[in-house]
Amino acid sequence: MNDEDPTALLNVLIIDDERAFGEMLVTMLSRSERYRADAVTTAAEGLQRLKENTTAYQLVLCDVKMPRMNGLEFVDAATAAGVGATIVMMSAFGTIDLAIDAIRRGAYDYLSKPFKRDELILTLRKATERLRLKARVKELEGQLARIEAIEHGDRPLLGQSEPMRELKATIAKVAVYNTTVLITGESGTGKELVARALHTTGPRRGGNFVAINCGAIPATLLESELFGHVRGAFTDARSDKLGLFVEAHEGTLLLDEIGELPPPLQVALLRVLQDGEIRPVGSTKSVSVDVRIVAATHRNLHEAVSEGRFREDLFYRLNVLQLEVPPLRERTEDIPALSDHILTAVARRMGLPKPAMGQDAMRVLLGYPWPGNVRELENVLERAVVLCDDNAITSEALPLTLSESLSPVQVTLAAGDLSIKRAQAYIERELIKRALKQTASNRTRAAHLLEISHRALLYKLKDYGLQDC
């Protein structure tokens, strides 16, 4: 059943030992454009049909009183066999107790014979709505499970900011389809992690995930890397080589920095997307491949198309579904969780205890704009693990370029503290430190720059613990 299409045809199986009654129901339902019905005269035959194809029928109308296997026994057997169809019981000998027993065993509803067409259609409509809701619940459960895997897998996508929640929800929806995906975003945002999440939470997770950076390999070698070659195809081709498309067969191939793909290979890639075949370098035979292609780029492919550097038809083939990975500056609330994860990984790799993150250091991290995104954060924290003292990261362990690029206002806002009094104190302290630095600790000149009296400056130096500056 297609839950998104209200006009989708629903298949109904009618099980009734009275052949004429079953055929009458088939005729009755055929007058509706919503249903297609088949009828059998024994519960055993009906059960066999459902077992052979558990999705062939969405609804079952089953009589209770039948020879050999009755309706209630059929419900038990169908439930045990994992039949997913919704079952509605029918009987001319109906009692409340019989109806309750049927529903307790797994039937959805109960109809007392004789019944009118409108009564039957209404019951089927209610059963159909139940099917739709069950399918929707199953879909949402699948999405939640995939999001859980995305967040807690071997290479998790961390962050609970709104942009990241939206991204992970989209990945969970897109992963189950085999369509081509284009991942865009600045360098260092984690585009390969997104591609891996698509692979590991999708139907191809049993296959290989293969990644190649199209801009890191010379054009003369890239064709062979992607499509393979046969012996003698060129100098030094002493044996056949399988390309990455073959390696990724029934899996996922990430073409990172797709914007750097040379024009001749753009044509070859378009052919693969259209025909599902590759031709190794030097070969006269094509090879069929079943690969999900995920492309990634930090460049604006729209501009590349308009400038003639990227094929328009290839762009539209790749851009079936686009995922935009947000830069770190747009999800600063994720920095504490990212930092904790990175520190754990770095400390484990170096065989060191995990250092604590000081509040002053975290203020700097939260206020910095991170042009290099998560990759830059990883590098900064690895440096901090090496340089920190007493197993605690302070602002002194961070590169000066981070704090020097920030104004006191930026740092205060990044801390998330809404106290005007504390913000004013912090800004005052920073301005005094800068004035003293600029005047080589000449307090009279510093007071003049700060437009306060010398006496007021002395009080503030004492309050802020800056007497030694």
What is the tens place of the pLDDT at every residue in 390-414? 889 998 899 888 876 555 555 555 5
> Which two structure tokens, joined as six digits, stand for 127?
């059963």
Instruction: Summarize the confidence of residues 300-306 as an average pLDDT.
Output: 92
Q: Which residues, other chains included, contact 27 with Cβ-Cβ below 8 Å and sequence gap of 6+? A: none
Closest Cα to residue 395, out of 438, 348, 362, 421?
362
- How far apart CA 280 and CA 377 sit, in angstroms, is 41
Please give the angle made by the CA atoms of 229, 205 and 272, to the nearest 5 degrees. Answer: 35
The pLDDT, as a whole number, for residue 284 is: 83
What is the tens place of the pLDDT at every residue in 428-451? 888 888 889 889 889 999 999 999
> Which two structure tokens, joined as six digits, stand for 75?
């419900």
What is the tens place of the pLDDT at every residue in 128-154? 888 888 778 777 777 777 677 676 666
Local confidence band at 4 (pLDDT 50, 70, 90 cut-offs): very low
What is the tens place of the pLDDT at every residue in 39-54? 999 999 999 999 888 7
- How far apart CA 343 and CA 347 sit, in angstroms, is 6
Residue type, 223: E
The pLDDT, as a whole number, for residue 272 is: 92
The pLDDT, as a whole number, for residue 412 is: 54
- How far apart CA 452 and CA 469 sit, in angstroms, is 18
Domains and CATH numbers, the chain: 10-136 (3.40.50.2300), 153-326 (3.40.50.300), 329-410 (1.10.8.60), 417-463 (1.10.10)
Please spell the DSSP secondary structure of 199-222, one letter per residue. Answer: HHTSTTTTS-EEEEETTSS-HHHH
| Omega within 30 of 0 (cis) for the link into 326 | no
What is the tens place of the pLDDT at every residue in 14-71? 999 889 999 999 988 888 778 889 999 999 999 999 988 877 888 999 998 888 888 8
pTM for this prediction: 0.64
Contact assessment for residue 368 and residue 381, using Cβ atoms and an 8 Å cutoff: no
The pLDDT, as a whole number, for residue 8 is: 65
User: Is residue 425 within a helix (H) or strand (E), and if so which, with residue range?
Assistant: helix 420-438
- How far apart CA 23 and CA 11 sit, in angstroms, is 15
- How far apart CA 183 and CA 166 sit, in angstroms, is 14
The pLDDT, as a whole number, for residue 410 is: 57
Q: What percent of the chain lies above the pLDDT cut of 70?
A: 91
Strands (E), 411-458: none
Contact assessment for residue 370 and residue 401, using Cβ atoms and an 8 Å cutoff: no
Contact assessment for residue 283 and residue 244, using Cβ atoms and an 8 Å cutoff: no
Q: Where are the alpha helices (DSSP H) in 31-178?
A: 43-52, 71-80, 96-105, 117-152, 162-174
Closest Cα to residue 222, out of 252, 270, 174, 255?
255
How far lies 63's CA from each of 87, 110, 279, 392, 425, in Å? 10, 10, 60, 74, 81
